[in-house]
């Protein structure tokens, strides 16, 4: 798959196979790559194959970085192909384990919601919010889906807004307000005279479910290569032929931001940044039978890192820190308007 393939034209089984092959080549990236492969299998409709991948991940001898996320995805997938009892047992297990990561909470709550268990879904969203957002002034970006999902279910239940719902309203940045989007009256009043429209409204709301899986199955981005200062110094010292490409670290950073803005302006969607290290670049050059001093190898290295799931989305989300690693917010660093 080319990185600029639009998401709707993805050949899911082929992409799953590519990711599995890549996982075999780069064991250190296997967990992330196999999760993406499973998302593609789910989207292709081959749920039993996705279950097999989740099981393979869960039985990995070295343990997993995100075991609860894998469990949650497995449960949601199992429920979709008729294994309700097993799915429920896993969901209960995830809730009891209280993971500190918002994603598993969102996935199990959405599984309940999509099977019309709105009360249980609300409880689950709320448990997650209580655990991760109590006494947190500024909810991190990763927790927003928890608040939005909770808002959606509570609107469907006709619950009055509480503080977290108000917070969800202020965090939501689309042109349509969350209240309008999740308006149960709008949804249900349509039912009396036009069942087709009601159906459409409900499926539109349901389309919000599963965004996590969709994100996992996005084509890998068009990525620009970034070297941290110490890596760049080492690179240029070892391969002086690259000095013309990288006059200084400061210029290197400015070039990255400029290149990405140009790509965005020319209509390229799905952009990212990959961070290189000298040893991994040398290994890549060796695998290609090329010299690390060859400038033409750099974009190929970037594409390979992106295909391994190493890209960070550009531009960064509002309020998150800059991609350059300065620790400052993107808006106050490389994201300042020109």
Contacts with Zn ion by CB under 5 A lie at: 169, 178-179, 322, 324, 326, 333-334
CB of 92 to Zn ion, least distance (A): 29
Only one residue has tokens 């039985």, namely: 59
Of the two residues 308 and 334, which places its CB atom closer to Zn ion in the complex? 334
**DSSP secondary structure string for all residues of 71-127:** HHHHHHHHHHTT-HHHHHHHHHHHHHH--SSHHHHHHHHHHHHHTT-HHHHHHHHHH
CA dist list (Å): 293 to 235, 241, 246, 274, 289: 9, 6, 12, 19, 12
Of the two residues 50 and 168, which places its CB atom closer to Zn ion in the complex? 168
> Would you state the structure tokens that stand for residue 11, as one six-digit string?
């050949």
Of the two residues 40 and 226, which places its CB atom closer to Zn ion in the complex? 226
CB of 336 to Zn ion, least distance (A): 9
CA dist list (Å): 249 to 13, 226, 260, 262, 277: 41, 10, 17, 20, 14
How far apart CA 159 and CA 83 sit, in angstroms, is: 31
Collapsed DSSP state (helix, strand, coil) of residue 273: strand
Strands 312-314 and 271-275: antiparallel
CB of 330 to Zn ion, least distance (A): 7
Residue 224, phi then psi, degrees to nearest 5: -105, 140
> Would you state the structure tokens that stand for residue 173, as one six-digit string?
């940045």
What's the chain's Rg over C-alpha atoms? Answer: 22
Of the two residues 159 and 233, which places its CB atom closer to Zn ion in the complex? 159
CB of 81 to Zn ion, least distance (A): 34
CB of 217 to Zn ion, least distance (A): 29
Of the two residues 30 and 129, which places its CB atom closer to Zn ion in the complex? 129
Of the two residues 134 and 160, which places its CB atom closer to Zn ion in the complex? 160
CB of 316 to Zn ion, least distance (A): 9
How far apart CA 27 and CA 298 sit, in angstroms, is: 22
Of the two residues 60 and 320, which places its CB atom closer to Zn ion in the complex? 320
CB of 146 to Zn ion, least distance (A): 15
CB of 159 to Zn ion, least distance (A): 11
Of the two residues 34 and 256, which places its CB atom closer to Zn ion in the complex? 256
Only one residue has tokens 């013309």, namely: 244
Only one residue has tokens 């108000």, namely: 166
């Amino acid at each position: 798959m080319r990185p600029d393939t639009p998401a709707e034209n993805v050949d899911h089984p082929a992409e799953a196979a590519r990711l599995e092959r890549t996982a075999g080549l780069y064991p250190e990236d296997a967990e992330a790559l196999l999760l993406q492969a499973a998302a593609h299998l789910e989207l292709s409709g081959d749920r039993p194959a996705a279950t097999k991948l989740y099981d393979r991940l869960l039985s990995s001898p070295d343990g997993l970085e995100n075991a609860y996320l894998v469990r949650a995805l497995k449960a949601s997938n199992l429920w979709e192909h008729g294994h309700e009892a097993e799915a429920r047992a896993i969901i209960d297990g995830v809730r009891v384990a209280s993971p500190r990561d918002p994603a598993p909470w969102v996935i199990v709550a959405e599984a309940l919601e999509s099977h019309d268990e709105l009360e249980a879904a609300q409880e689950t969203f709320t448990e997650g919010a209580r655990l991760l957002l109590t006494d947190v002034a500024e909810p991190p970006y990763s927790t927003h889906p928890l608040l939005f999902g909770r808002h959606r279910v509570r609107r469907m239940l006709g619950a009055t807004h509480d503080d977290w719902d108000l917070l969800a309203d202020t965090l939501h940045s689309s042109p349509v307000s969350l209240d309008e989007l999740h308006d149960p009256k709008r949804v249900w009043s349509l039912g009396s005279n036009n069942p087709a429209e009601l159906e459409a409204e409900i499926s539109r709301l349901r389309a919000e479910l599963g965004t996590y899986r969709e994100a996992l199955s996005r084509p890998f981005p068009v990525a620009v290569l970034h070297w941290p200062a110490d890596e760049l110094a080492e690179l240029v010292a070892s391969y002086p032929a690259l000095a013309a490409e990288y006059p200084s670290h400061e210029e290197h950073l400015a070039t990255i931001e400029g290149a990405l803005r140009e790509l965005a302006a020319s209509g390229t969607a799905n952009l990212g940044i990959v961070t290189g290290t000298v040893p991994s670049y040398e290994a890549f050059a060796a695998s290609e039978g090329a010299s690390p001093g060859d400038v033409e190898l750099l974009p190929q290295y970037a594409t390979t890192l992106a295909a391994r799931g190493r890209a960070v989305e550009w531009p960064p989300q509002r309020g998150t820190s800059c991609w350059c690693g300065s620790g400052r917010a993107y808006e106050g660093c490389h994201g300042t308007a020109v």
